[in-house]
């Protein structure tokens, strides 16, 4: 039961000028495709082959002997999730129950933005910034390399990729510029709200 590389949920040019066609082609067609291919090759013929990828990620997290498999599994999942966290004409502020929950758990939307941007900016090296649901409370966390909050019992609602390949062609070494644009112009709040509704 191979894990399939999902198609992008939008055209390669749909996120321009914020994320270029070139970035999406390299990021999706090369980086993401490589993680998926290596994961499928690694689990073929093993007990993990028939399991959902989320189950595999949770089962092998923290096992040093399975680090290579974990990295490709988690990166395959993280990227599939990340594409859905963006949309053309995204950004702005959420509404409805998600907005209420953010205000309740962070104090304000601006406070959430501050924490989320800071998580992305202060993640040393490669990694991810996340909005998660943790025992009923929204939290911002950051993870190194391929790590995923689901291995800590948290439910991912939103992620921002801060590996250099996510932004370098468009923003060069200005990770803060990419982060600002991600929050202001790219976040798919409908996807985040749907994730919260399913997790609540």
Edge-to-edge strands, sheet with 137-144: 137-144, 127-134, 155-161
Please work out, in degrees rounded to the nearest 5, the angle formed at the alpha carbon of residue 143 by the alpha carbons of 159 and 153.
80
- The reply, when asked if residue 18 is annotated as ligand binding, is no
DSSP letter (8 states) at residue 4: P
Q: Tell me which residue of 89, 108, 120 sits closest to 10, measured CA to CA.
A: 89
| Tokens, residue 96 | 């409805």
Pick from 86, 115, 111: nearest CA to 181: 86
Angle at 126 between CA 121 and CA 131, to 5 degrees: 55
CA distance 117 to 153: 23
Distance between CA atoms of residues 157 and 137, nearest Å = 12
Nearest residue to 171 via CA among 158, 157, 155, 160:
160
31 is in an annotated binding site: no
Q: Is 165 annotated as a binding residue?
A: yes
Place of tokens 């644009």: 181
Residue ranges for the known binding site are 27, 79, 161, 165
Residue ranges for the known binding site for Mn(2+) are 27, 79, 161, 165
């Amino acid at each position: 039961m191979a894990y399939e590389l999902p198609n992008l949920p939008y055209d390669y040019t749909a996120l321009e000028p914020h994320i270029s066609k070139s970035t999406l082609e390299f990021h999706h067609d090369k980086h993401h495709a490589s993680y998926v291919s290596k994961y499928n090759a690694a689990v073929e013929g093993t007990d993990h082959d028939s399991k959902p990828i989320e189950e595999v990620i949770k089962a092998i997290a923290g096992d040093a002997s399975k680090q290579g498999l974990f990295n490709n599994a988690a990166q395959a999942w993280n990227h599939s999730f990340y594409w859905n966290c963006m949309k053309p004409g995204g950004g702005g502020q959420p509404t409805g129950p998600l907005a209420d929950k953010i205000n309740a758990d962070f104090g304000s939307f601006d406070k959430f933005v501050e924490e989320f941007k800071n998580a992305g900016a202060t993640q040393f090296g490669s990694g991810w910034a996340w909005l998660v649901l943790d025992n009923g409370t929204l939290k911002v966390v950051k993870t190194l390399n391929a790590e995923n909050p689901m291995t800590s019992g948290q439910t991912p609602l939103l992620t921002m990729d801060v590996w250099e390949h996510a932004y370098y062609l468009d923003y060069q070494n200005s990770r803060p510029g990419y982060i600002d644009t991600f929050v202001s112009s790219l976040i798919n709040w409908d996807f985040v709200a749907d994730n919260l509704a399913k997790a609540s």
